[in-house]
Amino acid sequence: VQLGDAAARDLVAADAALAQAQAAVAQAEAGQATARLALTSLFPDLPLPEQARVPAEPPSLAGRDEDWVQLILARSHEIGAADALARQKDAEARRARADRVPDPSVGVRVLNDRGGRESAFGLIVMMPIGGSYRRAQAEATSADALGAGAALAMVRRDVQQDARRVVAMARALREVWQRQHEASAAAESSAAKAERAYALGETALAELLAARRTAQEAALAERRASVDAIEAAARVEVDAHERWHRHDTDEEAAAATAPAAIRLPDLGS
C-alpha cells in the first residue's frame, strides 16, 4: 500500500483474514484448555503431554473385523457378569426342583444315662414330602433362571451389535480421513498456484485469500478426521481389552486367533 502497488482495501482484506486466523487459534486454545482441565479433574494421576501431536497418518485396524468382534465378545465384562448371574439362577432352580423329590434320611440315636445303667437305642427316619410351597418355590426359581437367561441373551446381543458398530466405525473414519487428506492436498496445491498467480500480477488479493482460506479449512478438516480415526481405533482396542487390560490366564486360549495388539502412535511432544 505504501508503494502504491496495492489498494487500501487489499490491506483491509488481509487484516480481516489475519484476524479470522487469530480468532481460530484463540478458539482452539480455549478448547485445548477446557479438555485438559476436564482430563486432569477426572484423572488427576494421568500424565499429559505439554503438546499433543497428531501423527501424519492415523493407524488402521489389523486383521479381520469378525476377529475383533469375537475378541470383544470373549472379553466383555457385561457378558461375564450376566453369564455368572444366569448360572447362579440356574443352580438355584435346579436345587429347588431337587427339593421337591422325597429325600429320606435314616439315623440312629443312642442314649446312655445313670452311669450306664440305663441305655436306649432309637431309629430315626425322616422323609420330606414336597408340597405346594416347594412347588411354588421351584416355579419361582425356574422363572428367575429363565429371566436371567433372557437377560444374558439380550446383553450378548447388545454387546455384539455395539462391537460390530465400533469396528465398522473405525474402518469408515479411516476412509473418511483418506478422502479428507486427498482434499487437503488438492486445496494446498490450488493455494500454491493462486500465490504464484498473485505474485505474477494475474489475480487479485481477494482470490489469493479465498484460496488460502480454503486450503486452511481443508487442512483443519483433515486433522479433525485424523483425530476421529485415532479415537475410533482406540475405542476398538479398549472394548477388546487390548489397551489398559491384562489377560494372562487360560481363558484367553479361545482368543488365540485374534489379531495382534495394536498400539496407537505416541501423541506426546
d(CA 64, CA 231): 19
Which residues sit opposite 118 in a β-bridge? 113
Which of 161-165, 215-219, 231-235, 251-255 is the least confident region? 251-255
pLDDT at 267: 45
Residue 227 burial (10 A CB sphere; 0-12, 13-18, 19+): middle
Q: What is the mean pLDDT of the chain?
A: 86
pLDDT at 246: 63
pLDDT at 68 over 80: yes
Per-residue pLDDT tens over the stretch 237-251:
999 988 876 655 445
3-state secondary structure of 261: coil
Average pLDDT, integer, range 118-134:
82
Could you give the percent of the chain with pLDDT greater than 70? 90
pLDDT at 125: 87
- Return all residues near 104 (Cβ < 8 A) that are at least 6 apart: 125, 126, 127
d(CA 123, CA 88): 37
User: What is the distance of C-alpha 58 from the center of its chain?
Assistant: 17
Name the phi and psi angles at 107, rounded to 5: -140, 160
Quickly state the pLDDT bin for 185 (edges 50, 70, 90): very high
Average pLDDT, integer, range 98-117:
81
Question: Which stretches within the chain are classed as H helix?
Answer: 8-42, 65-74, 77-99, 132-199, 205-239
d(CA 239, CA 167): 10
pLDDT at 49: 84
pTM of the model: 0.70
User: Taking Cα atoms as reference points, which of 257, 264, 263, 245 lies closest to residue 71?
Assistant: 257
Please give the residue that has the higher pLDDT: either 266 or 136: 136
pLDDT at 243: 81
pLDDT at 147: 94
Per-residue pLDDT tens over the stretch 205-216:
889 999 999 999
Beta-strand relationship, 105-113 and 118-126: antiparallel
Please give the residue that has the higher pLDDT: either 49 or 263: 49
